[in-house]
Amino acid sequence: MIAANLLEARALARRDPRTAATLLAETDFVLAASERVVITGPSGSGKSVLLRALALLDPLDGGQLLWHGRSVERRAIPRFRRSVAYVRQRPALVEGTVEDNLRYPYSLRAYRDLRFDRDGAARLARAAGRGEHFLDKRASDLSGGEAQVTALIRVLQLAPEVLLLDEPTASLDPDTVRAIEALVDDWFIADRSGRASIWVSHDPAQAARVGQRHLQMRAGRLTAPEGDAA
Ligand SMILES: Nc1ncnc2c1ncn2[C@@H]1O[C@H](COP(=O)(O)OP(=O)(O)OP(=O)(O)O)[C@@H](O)[C@H]1O
Ligand SMILES: [Mg+2]
């Protein structure tokens, strides 16, 4: 059974480990099944800090994160990461080709039951507007936008339940931006049982397209935008 709340943050907090300055003030937040949340806010306000905290990528300095209503034990973290996928703002790629990068997760223990589907990956690349030989390109030769596309495909092919998208289209041209938005739409449509996303964007027009619920981050605090009842 799928709990209605996929993620629930209770008083989640992060501090700068060196100066103890607040990076994320105590934050309550719920991501319900099928929800599309969009977060905007100035540079340095804590959007990435929040997403990384929700992905359990950094140690928390307070609060609790519930996944399907339960806290995540250490041994459940690989399973959690498989369900709740964070797409980094600055993609980290391994050496080799794009295909090597797309194959990489399948070499990890958490994905041992899955097999790389080259045709499926090529289809995603085409849908993202990449040409025939994209999978054969060297990762070190990729443009910033192409690296973002690669990182997103690497996650999408694994069919996570929650996508935490940290400015996934920041270095892309408008056509590719639309193609990426369509890819994420396809991911939603492929399983209507409850997939949900949080999309961080600086572009208000994109925020309107990709989010139903809009939140703002300001100086480490997550709020509903002014004039918004939500
Ligand atoms: N591990 C860390 N240690 C210390 N400070 C950090 C750490 N991670 C982030 N910060 C600081 O927290 C603040 C918020 O950073 P964050 O990356 O979340 O901003 P952002 O809202 O995502 O900005 P942008 O829109 O530029 O991506 C910044 O001042 C940053 O320097
Ligand atoms: Mg950021």
Q: Tell me what the mean pLDDT of segment 212-222 comes to.
A: 96
pLDDT band at 17 (very low <50, low <70, confident <90, very high): very high
pLDDT of residue 171: 83
On the question of pLDDT at 3 being above 60, the answer is no
Question: What's the pLDDT band for 63 if we cut at 50, 70, 90?
Answer: very high
132 residue type, one letter: E
Q: Are 10 and 60 in contact (CB under 8 A)?
A: no
Query: Does residue 21 surpass a pLDDT of 90?
Result: yes
Ligand 1 centre to CA of 62 (Å) is 17
Half-sphere exposure for 42 (CA within 13 Å, toward CB): 6
Least reliable range by pLDDT among 3-7, 45-49, 135-139, 196-200? 3-7
β-bridge pairing 62-67 and 70-71: antiparallel
Q: What's the rounded mean pLDDT across residues 65-83?
A: 94
pLDDT higher than threshold 50 for residue 70: yes
Mutate to test the pocket of ligand 1, among 12, 18, 45 (most ligand atoms within 8 A of CB): 45
Residues with CB under 5 Å of ion ligand 2 are 47-48, 89
Tell the residue nearest (CA) to atom 19 of ligand 1: 44
Q: What spacing in Å lies between the alpha carbon of 166 and ligand 2's midpoint?
A: 6
Domains of the chain: 5-95+160-223 (3.40.50.300)
Under 8 Å CB-to-CB from 206, ≥6 apart: which residues?
169, 177, 181, 199
Q: What is the pLDDT of residue 230?
A: 47
Q: What is the mean pLDDT of residues 132-136?
A: 93
Question: Predicted confidence band at 225 (pLDDT cuts at 50, 70, 90)?
Answer: confident
Taking only the tens place, the pLDDT of each residue in 32-48 is 999 999 999 999 999 99
CA 49–ligand 1 middle distance (angstroms): 6
Alpha-helical regions (H) of the chain = 47-54, 77-83, 98-103, 118-127, 144-156, 174-190, 204-210
What is the reported pLDDT for 228? 57
| Mean per-residue pLDDT of the chain | 93
Does residue 84 register a pLDDT over 70? yes
The Cα–Cα gap between 226 and 215 comes to 10
- In this prediction, residue 224 carries a pLDDT of 87
Q: Ligand 1 pocket by C-beta < 6 Å: which residues?
A: 16-17, 23, 41, 43-49, 89, 217
How confident is the model at residue 203, as a pLDDT?
Answer: 93
Rounded percentage of the chain residues whose pLDDT exceeds 70: 97
Q: What pLDDT score does 131 carry?
A: 85
